[in-house]
Structure 1
Amino acid sequence: MTFAIPNFDLSAFVAATLAEDLGTGLPGGGRDVTSESVIASDTRFAGVMDTRDAITVAGLPIAAAFFRALDPAMEIAILVDEGAQVPGGTLLMRMAGNARALLTAERSALNTVQHLSGIATLTRRYVDAMNGHATLLDTRKTIPGLRHLEKYATRTGGAQNHRMGLWDAAMIKDNHVLVAGGVGPAVARARDAGVAQIICEVDRLDQIEPAIAAGAHHLLLDNMGPDLLREAVALVAGRVPTEASGGVNLDTIGAIAASGVTYVSVGRLTQSAPAADIGLDFTPL
């Protein structure tokens, strides 16, 4: 798949991440003291990045950007596509260039690829467990500052992005309902404010009709088991999309997805994904 992250400034992310690692602006900072003291400035290395785990790959173009930020002439060959499912032992990237640049960028590049591939890999496991039923959604349970990257990784693993933030849809949840005095009044207020996309959480069947009648465009069916979800889907009768949320894990998602809902959202994709075991080895040229 083609690498693209809308509204994400890759150059700024790379620069900020390297500056953090180098201590730019701090007393004595702005350099890699180990590489500068141990490796001659004109030394060249070749390197290979590989995975020790079976993974769904995500983030290799970002890794390449780290290396090229420090050595624009770096020779880089990305060996697998984003979104590829590969077995352990697969070579992901080859590179050759200035040794100091490679060593300085190594950890930032690996951290990014390990994290994003971990998310993409877990996402793919959830997609596979759904057996073709419904569409998997991510959530806003992301690490601050990394939302665009993490939601890129869930897309790469086969999910669809839910809201990117608080701005692109109204999500009426129990606390909003409590303050507004009910599901119907809460949805009506969002409708009257001209909100283009209104998602309303319901946790009881008797909330479905008031939400739809008031103008909800999408119902989030919260913490309902498969039997109750089937009842809810029957009541909605295709008038708006339905989303199952809460209590979803790899053991339960198959039955939840098969209940007839349009979507299943899973916070664990970004909240709990383990890093992939990916390494990088160098040899002098």
Structure 2
Amino acid sequence: TADGAIVDGEPAQLQQVIHNLIRNAIQASEPGAAVDVQLERLRLPGRRVLSHGELPSGAYVCIRVSDTGRGMDEATRARIFEPFFTTRPAGTGLGLATAFEFVQEQAGAFDVRSAPGVGSTFAVWLPALPEAEPGVSAAGGTVMIVGAARSALQDDEEILAALGYEPIGYTDPDAALTALRAEPGRFDLLIVENQPAGSLGLAFARRAARIVDRPIVLSLSATDTVRPEVLSAIPIVDVAHRPWRSNALALTLRRHLGSEARSAQPRRRVAAERAAAQ
């Protein structure tokens, strides 16, 4: 880790960049092989030319993802960030292209080192921001998520973690209620998936509201509708429509967790250390 590893941008996008790099490293390696992730805060005394970009002098955060897998030849390395270019039969060729676009938007660059049979190192260089900025408070808080499918719940947890919250997911409504009774002060906000045919959704939210006085957000699919008077009677403070958009979700959470000042900022300061650790 590195102190002061703060960069500009959308947290979920940075999370996705690192996720793509680690996934690619795993897929290029033998089963069980280690993937190394490093984070540094560096200062360049002068302009530096990297394999995919050029950087002026200044302070930077560098995230490196390295593997000892099959590596790439020079021709492949020259095309890896092209949209739809892939060396995997099941690949889309969009993961690295999207990552490259994000890094470019933040005035950063990639430095890629690779050789056949040796492995690859992808280094993401992003301009570092000052550690403190008056009037900007950090996001945070513990969020309970109650959903039906474990795989979907894991995706939800990744989104919340990338936004700076501590997510705790439950697929069993009874276990979630037990956790609320045991530690009513542990959770700052609840997100509940709406499942009208089961015990999730409004029925769970109604029971949870009797146990804790915490904001409850109902997660609805694009086709779900719930009458406003039903929501206010529970009470539900807000609705998050799926698929979740990280920008909209971040604003919703900050509105109900007392971080309005930061949600008004047009851009977000991202703790790269947190994103790299997820």
What is the TM-score of this pair, normalised by structure 1? 0.32
Structure that is richer in helix per residue: 1
What is the TM-score of this pair, normalised by structure 2? 0.32
Structure that is richer in strand per residue: 2
